Chain A
Amino acid sequence: MRGSDRSAIFFTPAGRVLPLVAFVLVWQAASATKWLDPAFLPPPTAVATALFDLLRGSEIRDNLLVTLMRAAIGLVLGAAAGVWLGLMMARSVVFRAYVAPIVGGTYSLPKSALIPLFILWFGIGTVTTVCAVFLACLLPMIVNTFQGVASTPKVLVWGAEALGTSRRDMLLRIFLPHALPDIFTGLRIALGFSFVLAISSEMIASTNGIGKLIFMYGENGAYDYMFAAIACIVIVAFLADRFMLLVTRRYLRWHESAVAREAA
């Protein structure tokens, strides 16, 4: 009991920030004592100064909005298509026979490897980034939706049939609700992927966006500004993930995992 009392502090809101604060302090100390070359790793104070400077201007905000828009479009399209494809795969043997090998073959492919291909097709800009995000989000959504629909217990389907559910209603009334926990799991994975692909695609195939900004600062040796831009996207991605958890908790109150997720 004593041990759990002592570690309890880490689970308070303030306690969760504690390791982060310690990390920043060590970083600052390492820079101040010249143990780390500030040219390669600017101290947190320099990054903070750059961050304040960036937040005063509109550059970071405009580019961040561009990136978020691209990530959101790709995520929404990828999620919608993924849910539909996953549902079809689980409900139609013929459809699965056609699609499963393609999904299996591309699942482990790093989607960023296809960015040069998208550049060839769509040039430099939004379409290429959205395509990369779309593809990266699509696969976890397909796989998770399929899993959720295919694992629907037979008695639930039979029970629904005996209560007068038509074949057409079955998808919306039984299969989708049953797959919802898995769909949310897929969404959380896809959300992470959407940031990864939006930023990496912007670095090589865009004239704007936060990815391009980070890349430019790096090329020009403005490492404090580069870190500040990275910090911005880290915070935004973190908030997006928390928001997703909030939404998940709201819609999965009925599910066992709702309790487990709250503890995490």
Chain B
Amino acid sequence: MRALIAPKIQIQGLSKSYPGEKTPVLALQAVDISVSEGEFVSIVGPSGCGKSTLLYVVGGFLNADGQVLVDGKAVQGPGTDRGVVFQEYALFPWLTVRNNILYGLERGSLPPDERARIADRLIGVIGLRGFEDRYPRELSGGMKQRVAIARTLACDPAILLLDEPFGALDAQTREVMQDELLRIWLETRKTVLMITHDVSEAVYLSNRICVMSARPGQIVDEFKIDLDRSIPREVLFTSDAFNRIRNEVWISVRREALAAEKLNARV
């Protein structure tokens, strides 16, 4: 039975330092987070606090001291079990929308007609029918991020790692994308670890929010979010329950942001 309740992602005593000018800069210090299967966890904190570094370590792109376990096994490097969406989209500019989505599938073992079917379905899901043969430079920011999400979903990873996925989008597009992500998550119930600096976004989407301190990044606060996801955004955003928790998180993040400001002023 223990295996069943073991967390999907387990981050234990994670520390990471970068070589600095004189002394190494400590980016993360003894971070512990565990994420259960199907849980949506967001990490918020002031900019430069090491949130993204944490995600890159979980992704297997960076090494760090401490442990990251996925399904109880230590992360050795990048893997298709963890799909990643970057803030700057990271689409392959030399591939069309369709071929970007097909890219990961082509590295898998599915037969070609099955791959084409999956890609076609995802193009429909992200609403980019008619844009299949366009190149990324011909797309808007929102469209690019949709393709990036579809490309990641195509490989059907158990875990989604989202690094400020909507940070580069305008406010209106961001809301549309958040709704889409929420819909996809409710449908697929994937385990999600998201980095964001947008408190409302974190409250709107997550089951749990971890607040990270200014450098060195540590988890200083944790909030469980228990909101009804079936009610429309405008009702939820104006509800007392939503605003109460949003304000709590916001005050916590603000405290860390002010501390970060002081830290930067001293340097």
> Chain A residues in contact with chain B, CB under 8 A?
153, 155-156, 158-165, 169, 174, 177-178, 180, 253-256
Contact = CB atoms under 8 A, between A and B. Distances in A.
B86 interface: yes
A160 B79 CA distance: 10
Contact of B77 (A155, A156, A161): A161
A156 B164 CA distance: 16
B78 A162 contact: yes
Given A159-B90, A163-B107, A253 B78 contact: no
Nearest to B148: A159
Contacts of B43: none
Contacts of A158: 56, 59, 61, 78, 84, 86, 90
Contacts of B107: 163-165, 169
B7 interface: no
A162 B84 contact: yes
Given A162-B79, A164-B80, A164-B155, 12 more contacts: A155-B90, A160-B103, A161-B60, A162-B84, A163-B103, A163-B151, A163-B152, A164-B108, A165-B107, A174-B92, A180-B94, A255-B93
Interface of B: 56, 59-61, 77-80, 82-84, 86, 88, 90, 92-96, 103-104, 107-108, 135-137, 151-152, 155
A82 B249 CA distance: 55
A162 B151 CA distance: 11
A254 B86 contact: no
Nearest to B81: A162
The majority secondary structure among interface residues of chain B is: loop
6 contacts: A153-B90, A156-B92, A163-B103, A163-B104, A164-B104, A180-B94
Contacts of A160: 92, 103
Contacts of B94: 177-178, 180, 254-255
The majority secondary structure among interface residues of chain A is: helix
B135 A254 contact: yes
Contacts of A165: 107
Contacts of B56: 158
**Nearest 10 Cβ contacts at the A-B interface:** A163-B104, A164-B107, A161-B78, A159-B90, A155-B90, A254-B135, A177-B94, A162-B84, A164-B80, A155-B86
Contacts of B79: 162
A256 B146 CA distance: 21
Nearest to B163: A155
A264 to B, nearest CB: 18
B137 A256 contact: yes
Most B CB contacts (10 A, CB to CB) among A153, A155, A163, A254 go to A163
B92 A162 contact: no
B41 to A, nearest CB: 19
Given A161-B61, A161-B78, A163-B103, A156 B90 contact: yes
Contact of B93 (A161, A164, A169, A254): A254
B88 A155 contact: yes
A159 B86 contact: yes
